[in-house]
Amino acid sequence: MGHSPTRYAEGEALPVRSDDPASVERLVYIHGSVYLYRMMHRPLQTREMIIQAADDLFYGEGIRASSMDAIAERAGVTKRTLYYHFRSKDDLVAAYLQARDEPTLARYEIWLDATRGTLSDQIMGFFNRLARIAADNKWKGCGFLRAAAELAGSPGHPALRIGSAHKKKFEAWLAGRISAEGLDGGALRARQLMVLLDGAVAQMLIHRDPSYVRAAGQLAAALLTKTVQ
């Protein structure tokens, strides 16, 4: 990343911001003078910076509460640059959830495999891990569920399709693990686990009591030790 500073005396009018959508301008104050740094980013890098800023705000403050102005400021880009990469806030919300898809699934796989034993043991360990993490005040639930709640009045929103695809992908992965364990009814058991998992997350957000998550984990583990009716 190259940069070339332009020096301006204190009180001197600064030039307008660049029309280059890949540039980011920073003001640096040194010994009473102002330096304008224009730092060039590759378009992909700039896009990633914007998505990360959106993730911070959408997850931390909520989708409705986070303006495009606030996201541009957090990402260190102009609004023109932001809209160069994302035509609308709806597009940015969709990109935010898409960026969470694979990392979330990978994290869940790590959580499951962290416990030795049968799949029932592993599921119990998974829920116990969630209970510990959810006990932290910084935890704000599942980004996909929260987005679905905020966008409930916009049934055609692209983010809802991404959230549904994410949940279906995780459900299918669970069904595969259940079948690999030699248990019957993999699809039904996986769906029951999804209901328990998302229900536990919702109850935790309401009550802030990890015992709800552990209780759901006990039921989830039991589902993997009996024959499907």
29 and 122 in a single domain? The answer is: no
- The answer for residues whose C-beta is within 8 angstroms of residue 42's C-beta and 6 or more apart is 22
Is 69 within a domain?
no
CATH code, domain carrying 140: 1.10.357.10
List the domain range (segments joined by +) for residue 212.
Answer: 98-223
196 and 117, same structural domain?
yes
Q: Are residues 216 and 139 in the same domain?
A: yes
pLDDT of residue 227: 72
pLDDT of residue 45: 94
Over its length of 229 residues, how does the chain's per-residue pLDDT go in tens digits?
444 444 434 444 434 344 444 444 444 433 444 434 444 456 669 999 999 999 999 999 999 999 999 999 999 999 999 999 999 999 999 999 999 999 999 999 999 999 999 999 999 999 999 999 999 999 999 999 999 999 999 999 999 999 999 999 999 999 999 999 999 999 999 999 999 999 999 999 999 999 999 999 999 999 999 776 6
Determine, yes or no, domain membership for 54. no
Residue 64 lies in a domain: no
| 75 falls within a domain | no
pTM, two decimal places: 0.79
pLDDT at res. 145: 97
Does residue 141 lie within any of the structural domains?
Answer: yes
Based on the fold, state whether residues 106 and 217 are members of the same structural domain: yes
Neighbouring C-beta atoms of residue 119, cutoff 10 Å: 21
Q: Clarify whether residues 24 and 109 are in a common domain.
A: no
Alpha carbon of 70 to those of 112, 123, 147: distances in Å? 37, 39, 18
In angstroms, the CA 77 to CA 72 distance is 5
User: 200 in a domain, yes or no?
Assistant: yes
Q: What are the E-state strand segments in the chain?
A: 3-8, 23-30, 33-40
Specify whether 102 is located in the same domain as 213.
Answer: yes
- In this structure, are residues 186 and 122 in contact, taking their beta carbons and an 8 Å threshold? no
Q: Are residues 27 and 139 in the same domain?
A: no
Confidence (pLDDT) at 7: 44
- 40 phi/psi in degrees, rounded to 5: -95, 135
Are 36 and 137 members of one domain? no
Q: Is residue 29 located within the same domain as residue 136?
A: no
Number of domains in the chain: 2
Amino acid in the structure at residue 163: G
Residues 145 and 35 in one domain: no
Q: How many CA atoms lie within 13 A of 158 on its CB side?
A: 11
Q: How far apart are CA 65 and CA 160, in angstroms?
A: 18
Task: Tell me what pLDDT residue 1 has.
Answer: 45
The pLDDT score that the predictor gives to residue 43 is 64
Beta bridge partners of 34: 8, 29
Q: What is the pLDDT of residue 66?
A: 98
